[in-house]
Chain A
Amino acid sequence: MRYFDIVKFEPDKSLCSRLGYKNVYSVGKDIQVSERPLKYEVPQIVISNDQGILIGALRDGGVVGIIFKDNELNKKIIEKAAELRKTIFIPLTGIVGTGAAERKQNIQKVRKIIFAAHALKANARIISLAESKEYLLSTAQMLEIESLLKGKQGKSIFDGSRI
């Protein structure tokens, strides 16, 4: 097993192992997700659509990655993330937990982020960021969604067992 995921609830370990994950990090316990960089003892992910906040977050040593709020693409941020070797996390909540019309729009937005990340050689990684166990996905499903989003181009966006 060589995959990890980040979720917003306390996951059942046996379920996570059945789903094929090595590590499933819980927000609030193993990792923090906040709207601006703060001082935490655990690694932090910053979610925002403000360019200044995201660039500041990328420069912060405690921040492991960023999330574009509402999947709004910003190439300057992606360039900076590539330069500072930070990860752009892409939550699948807008794709999995929505209706068909909204899903189509979100898939297009996420594709743009992924293609820009590949072009600028930045690390992009999909995560479920599930709020409850209904929204958790198995590794097989994540790999299928990965191929739906990025096709066969570029490197994997679902590889690695650690943040």
Chain B
Amino acid sequence: MTCDEAREQFSAWVDGALPSPEREQVAAHLAACPECARELDRFTHTVRLLSGVGRPRAPVGFVDRVMEAVRREPWHRRALRFILGPRPVQVPVSIGATAVIAALTVYLYQHVPEPQQAAWWEAPPAVERIEPLTPIPAEPIEPAQPGQPGPVPPSPGSFRTPAAARRAPAPSTAPPSARAPAPAEPAASPGALAAEATAERAVHDRAMAERPRGEPEGAAPTPSGPKAERRDSAERPAAPAGPARPGVPSERDPIGTPRGAAPAPAGQVAKERQQEPSSGVVLSRAARAPDLVGRLTVTDRAAGLVALDRLAAGLGATGLGRRPDPDATMVELMVPRPAYERLEPGLRAIGAWEPEMVPGEPPAMVRVLIRVTGQ
């Protein structure tokens, strides 16, 4: 062992941390090298001096200042320590985290409207009753040709709900058994409602496509002949639907078939009628999510809803439903694309309109969900 190699081991030697074979080698070298032995003495003395150095004392009042700082510790640090810290009964962190997330989810669902709205579209309850909507002038529709199996044209201009319309008697093509209202009608299943909404949208799209050329879409129709008669009846306030005359399409039929289109099978119509609720109006169950969603804040909710009805009538919108809640009323509309541009200006004229979701390219019929809030 050289002198350098021996001196490299001085620290471990002094601390007694040198393993036995190396210790013996260093000892042998020290015995043969007086210079290294003197160096080891100086080294040992240095370490002894260091261990005798006094320790500084913390300033007076230090403990109080620390404890005061601990008391001022931010709440999130305390909360984190509470969550992650040990408990008298140890709970696995994963279980605790799951419980916290579950509690937060329930809290948010109950207190924030957006999650409720999202859940509403995905997993709605079977049936919800809402107040009937005010009828608005219907678009003129040509009557069915005599002898033609009574296709029911769409009525995009009528502000009505599918369920209310379903309460109307069956069209002439339906067999008597189907036209007869069921005394106790079961709630519509979500699947049936979704199919209904899909059919409804298809009908409206076809109707828009079949508008007479030259007539501006969404323009007020000119009453004449049977059209005027139908318009007059439509302008009357909503009344219990009476039986429709055979061969005359009922404007309260929700799933009208456009002229020239194949009518729905009678059995299907009858089935749909058996599925409708016995009373009230069902807020449309969406086969697709709404295209436009927003919040309309008004000072007087009742007045705001009336104004909204007027706006919808002016736009030729179809009311799909309305659901009053204690703090808001959900209104769902189908607005023809040509009139869609006038919808948001009209909403801003009624109250504070805050769109939350807007369509990129509006479809032929824009599905609109408005959350009306106000006193």
* A-B complex is real: no
